[in-house]
Amino acid sequence: MQITSKLPAVGTTIFATMSALAAEHKAVNLGQGFPDFPMSEELIELVAKAMRDQYNQYAPMPGWMPLREAIAEKVHYLYGSRVNPDSEITITPGGTYAIYSAFTSFLQSGDEVILFEPAYDSYIPNIEVNGAKVVRIPLVYPDYHIDWDAVRAAITPRTRAILINSPHNPTGAVISATDIEELRKTVEGTSILILSDEVYEHLIFDSISHQSILRYPDLFARSFVCFSFGKVYNCTGWKLGYCIAPATLMKEFRKIHQFNAFSCFTPTQVALASFLQNRDAYLTLSDLMQQKRDFFIDQMKATRFTLLSSYGSYFICAKYDQISEEGDMDFAVRLTKEAGVTTIPVSAFYADGKDDKVLRFCFSKKKETIEQAVERLVNY
C-alpha cells in the first residue's frame, strides 16, 4: 500500500542524522540544541507536587487558566502590553507545534509566505504541507541581517505572511528596533500576517532588548507569536509552549489545536503557573547563558575556527576556512569521525543547500562538555 507524499522532498532531519553519527563515533555532541545540565529542582518539585495533588486529568483545551493568567501578567510586566488570557493565549505541546498550528489556521493553497534563510528546519515543511508557497530571502552574511528592500521586492498579491525569528536559530542574530520599523513600513496597508518565533526570548545577550512583537500593538494585531517553556527553563523534553494572538486569529488557531493535541500535560502547566511568579527565574537566564557563550568563545580562541557574532539563542556559528575548503556537510561529518566533535552544517538550513562553509555550535552545555570538545578541536 502506498500513498502520495505531501512532503516528497523531506527526509531525515539533519539533527537526527548528526546525532546518530555522534553516538556511533562517541563524539561530543555540540550539534542538537539541548542543554546537558540540570534544570531547576524547584520546578521539578512543583511538577511532582501537582501530580501528588491529583492534577492528572485533562486541562482545558486552551490551557490551564492560572498558567494563561501568569503568562498575561508576564507579558504586561516585560512588554507593557495587555493580552487576554481567556481569548488570546493557548498552551501548546511545544513551540514547533504552535508554529505549525498557526500556519495551518490561515494558509490556503497558493498563498505565499516570506521567510529568511538560514531557517529553522520545520518552517518550510509547515508551509508546504498546507499547500502554500515559500518565498525564501537570504539573510545577509556574515552578520545575518535582513535586507528589507529584498523583502518588499518579494511581496506579491499572494503574500499571506512574513515569518520572523528572533533570537535567531541557527545564527544567534537578533532583530533590532530599526528592523521593527522596517517591518511596520512593509506591512502597513496590507493584509499580510506575521508569524513571530520567539522561543529564545529570554536567551538574549549583551544587554540587548528583545524586540518582541508583543511590544507593538499595531503589529500584534496581525500576528501569531510563539514561545517555548522548554527553551526558557532548560527542559526541552517537556515539549510545552504557547501561542499568543488577537482573539479573532486565536479563534482559528484553536480550531486546529482542538482536533490535534486538544490539551497539554496538566502537571507541568500547574507547576509553571506557580513558577512564573518567580521573575528572577527567567530574568537571570540571559546572563547565565551569556556566561556559557563567553566561555565557549574564550575556549575556542585556541582553535583555528573563526567565530561569528551571536547575540542570543543556544547557538554560535563558525567559519573553518583556516582548516579546510570542503563543503560544510562533508567537513561536519569528518569532524565527528576524526575529531570526535559533532556540529550542524549551516547549509542544512537553506532549501537550496547554500554553503558559506559555516558550522553551528551549541554552547548550552556544561563547562566540562565545552572543555572536552575544545580539547579535541585544538589540534584539528
Q: What is the dihedral of CA 32, 35, 37, 41, to 10 degrees?
A: -140
Q: How many domains does the chain have?
A: 2
Q: Which of 248, 278, 308 is the last residue of a domain?
A: 278
Q: How far apart are CA 152 and CA 154, in angstroms?
A: 5
Residue 1 is assigned to a structural domain of this protein: no
Picking from 55, 93, 51, 26, the residue whose alpha carbon sits closest to that of residue 340 is 26
Q: Which of 230, 256, 278 is the last residue of a domain?
A: 278
Q: How far apart are CA 147 and CA 241, in angstroms?
A: 30
Same domain, 254 and 325: no
Quickly tell me which residue has 563543503 as its cell.
Answer: 327
What confidence tens digit (pLDDT) does each residue in 46-92 have?
A: 999 999 999 999 999 999 999 999 999 999 999 999 999 999 999 99
Cβ neighbourhood burial of 150 (10 Å; 0-12, 13-18, 19+): middle
Q: Which of 250, 278, 306 is the last residue of a domain?
A: 278
Give me the helix-helix angle, 285-300 and 367-378, nearest 10°. 20
Same domain, 187 and 315: no
pLDDT higher at 234 or 174:
174
Q: Is the peptide bond before 38 cis (omega within 30 degrees of 0)?
A: no
What confidence tens digit (pLDDT) does each residue in 279-299 have?
A: 999 999 999 999 999 999 999
What confidence tens digit (pLDDT) does each residue in 256-283 have?
A: 999 999 999 999 999 999 999 999 999 9
Q: What is the pTM of this model?
A: 0.96
Residue 7 is assigned to a structural domain of this protein: no
Residue 12: pLDDT band (50, 70, 90) is: confident
Q: How many CA atoms lie within 13 A of 233 on its CB side?
A: 26
CATH number assigned to the domain comprising residue 322: 3.90.1150.10
Give me the helix-helix angle, 266-275 and 41-52, nearest 10°. 130
Same domain, 67 and 185: yes
| Percent of the chain residues past pLDDT 70, beyond the cut | 100
* Domain boundaries, position 219: 41-278
Backbone angles phi, psi at 216, to 5 degrees: -120, 100
What confidence tens digit (pLDDT) does each residue in 306-338 have?
A: 999 999 999 999 999 999 999 999 999 999 999
Query: Over the Cα atoms of the chain, what is R_g?
Result: 21
Give the Cβ contact number of residue 124 at 10 Å.
Answer: 21
